[in-house]
């Protein structure tokens, strides 16, 4: 397909949740490429009509959502379907298969979505994974604690953004973690008789993130991010991403090889890949491998060739346009996902101007809304905002992000819980 003289603008369906951070960057990139964008939003049909949404889809019912997409395509030919969030990857795979579009097959999309299925596929292919076991929510956590080796990590199978992921160092903390994660799942509408939790060995080590793009099963590594803050638990909130990595060249090469092995083991073949890996004395361990791009506003620190954004690169790949060079300049970049320190109502933010004036800082975006509730991990799934920096060296970028964050003050008022009447 030639993007210069198309018979019509390629039509791409972007599947997204209503609150996704990613929509703006993808829509802007699609406009630059003159793509015809259809937004498929995770909304019940009556709300989709109320908000005048083109396609309201229920991502929790992937087969039904995919069938609706296929029916839409009968009158509106579709060239590509792209999931912006984890929750939509299975919908995209099922619909793309039915429409014979480039895709990851549904089984592979499920493996990248479900932590237990992922562990099973990785282990079957000989890719190293921590010891793991799956348990139904109705199981007795005290009995599980008696048969578990510590430290371990309690994980929901399909929540993203480290929601519900809790480290336990002894039987008492495992029971507490189990009960807390169970409450999160029940509050999300999961039924205890049909919902499982994963208990797996805690892996010490340095954690990194990989951004890549798959074409016919071949992985093109786009960026390797260091995570300078230790992620040791009990919760695993990501804060700093800095690239290029400061790890030795041999370690970086091993990370690239392991990411490609993990993608092949899961069966991913097309589109963006975001991977989390840990490196320790025993080797490189895949922790997560998602069939979508990096979350939040983090992609804005990546630029390829002559000013091509990550989103434009992904969209070009999806609709079959020629890909530009994916080399980046030698300067270091980084982002801080501003953590939520405690729950409550956000009443005020100060120090933003000072943070923006920090040397090497290129932007500060406060995304949390004033007078709205804040929910930290492990229950929450968002950040206060993002800080961006660019400099000649990764260490300078990291220092600038920390200095800018130190200027910020957030006034968070405790939530008042009213006692019920007897």
pLDDT, tens digit (0-9, with 9 covering 90-100), for 108-158: 999 999 999 999 999 999 999 999 999 999 999 999 999 999 999 999 999
Neighbours of 422 (CB within 10 A): 3
**Which residue has tokens 């910020």?**
408
Output the pLDDT for position 7: 67
Q: How far is CA 156 from the centre of its chain?
A: 15
pLDDT score of 1 more than 50: no
- Spatial contact of 173 and 144, defined as CB atoms under 8 Å apart: no
Which fold would CATH assign to domain 11-111?
Rossmann fold (3.40.50)
For the chain, the maximum distance between any two Cα atoms, rounded to a whole number of angstroms, is: 72
Q: What is the CA radius of gyration of the chain?
A: 22
CATH class of the 331-414 domain in this structure: alpha beta
Domain definitions of the chain by residue range = 11-111, 131-201, 331-414
pLDDT band at 375 (very low <50, low <70, confident <90, very high): very high
pLDDT band at 103 (very low <50, low <70, confident <90, very high): confident
pLDDT score of 180 more than 50: yes
pLDDT score of 245 more than 90: yes
Name the nearest CA neighbour of 221 among 278, 280, 272: 272
CATH architecture entry for 131-201: 2-Layer Sandwich (3.30)
Q: E strand or H helix at 116, and its extent?
A: helix 115-124
- Which structure tokens are listed for 206? 């340095």
Neighbours of 348 (CB within 10 A): 11
Contacts 24+ apart (CB under 8 A), 54-59: 55/13, 57/15, 57/91, 59/15, 59/17, 59/87, 59/88, 59/90, 59/91
For every residue of 21-68, DSSP letters joined together read SSHHHHHHHHHHTT-EEEEEEE--HHHHHHTT-SEEE-TTSHHHHHHH
- Spatial contact of 245 and 301, defined as CB atoms under 8 Å apart: no
Output the pLDDT for position 38: 95
- Which structure tokens are listed for 377? 């991990």
Q: Do domains 11-111 and 131-201 have the same CATH topology?
A: no
pTM confidence score:
0.93
pLDDT, tens digit (0-9, with 9 covering 90-100), for 263-313: 999 999 999 999 999 999 999 999 999 999 998 899 999 999 888 999 999
Name the nearest CA neighbour of 235 among 295, 176, 157, 192: 176
């Amino acid at each position: 397909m030639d993007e210069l003289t198309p018979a019509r603008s390629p039509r791409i369906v972007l599947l997204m949740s209503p609150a996704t951070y990613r929509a703006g960057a993808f829509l802007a990139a699609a406009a630059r490429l003159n793509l015809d964008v259809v937004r498929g939003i995770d909304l019940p049909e009556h709300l989709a009509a109320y908000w005048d949404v083109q396609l309201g889809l229920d991502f929790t019912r992937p087969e039904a959502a995919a069938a609706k997409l296929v029916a839409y395509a009968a009158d509106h030919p579709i060239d590509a379907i792209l999931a912006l969030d984890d929750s939509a990857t299975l919908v995209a795979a099922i619909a793309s298969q039915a429409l014979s579009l480039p895709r990851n097959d549904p089984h592979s999309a499920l493996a990248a979505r479900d932590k237990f299925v992922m562990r099973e596929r990785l282990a079957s292919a000989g890719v190293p994974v921590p010891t793991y076991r799956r348990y139904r929510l109705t199981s007795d956590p005290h009995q599980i604690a008696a048969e578990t080796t510590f430290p371990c990590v309690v994980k929901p199978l399909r929540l993203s953004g480290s929601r519900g992921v809790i480290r336990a160092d002894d039987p008492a903390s495992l029971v507490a973690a189990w009960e807390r994660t169970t409450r999160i799942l029940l509050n999300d509408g999961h039924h205890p008789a049909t919902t499982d939790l994963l208990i797996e060995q805690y892996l010490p080590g340095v954690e990194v993130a990989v951004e890549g793009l798959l074409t016919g099963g071949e992985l093109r590594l786009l960026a390797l991010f260091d995570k300078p803050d230790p992620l040791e638990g009990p919760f695993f909130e990501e804060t700093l991403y800095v690239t290029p990595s400061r790890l030795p060249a041999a370690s970086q090469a091993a990370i690239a090889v392991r990411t490609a092995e993990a993608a092949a083991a899961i069966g991913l073949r097309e589109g963006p890949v975001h991977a989390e890996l840990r490196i320790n004395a025993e080797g490189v361990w895949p922790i997560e491998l998602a069939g979508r791009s990096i979350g939040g506003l983090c992609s804005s620190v990546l630029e390829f060739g002559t000013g091509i954004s990550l989103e434009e690169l992904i969209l070009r790949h999806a609709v079959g346009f020629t890909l530009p060079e994916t080399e980046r300049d030698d300067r270091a970049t980084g982002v801080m996902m501003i953590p939520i320190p405690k729950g409550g109502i956000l009443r005020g933010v100060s120090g933003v101007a000072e943070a923006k004036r920090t040397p090497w800082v290129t932007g500060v975006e406060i995304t949390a809304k004033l007078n709205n509730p804040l929910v930290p991990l492990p229950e929450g799934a968002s950040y206060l905002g993002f800080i961006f920096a660019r400099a000649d060296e990764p260490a300078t970028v990291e220092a600038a992000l920390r200095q800018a964050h130190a200027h910020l003050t957030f006034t968070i008022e405790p939530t008042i819980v009213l006692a019920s009447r007897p």
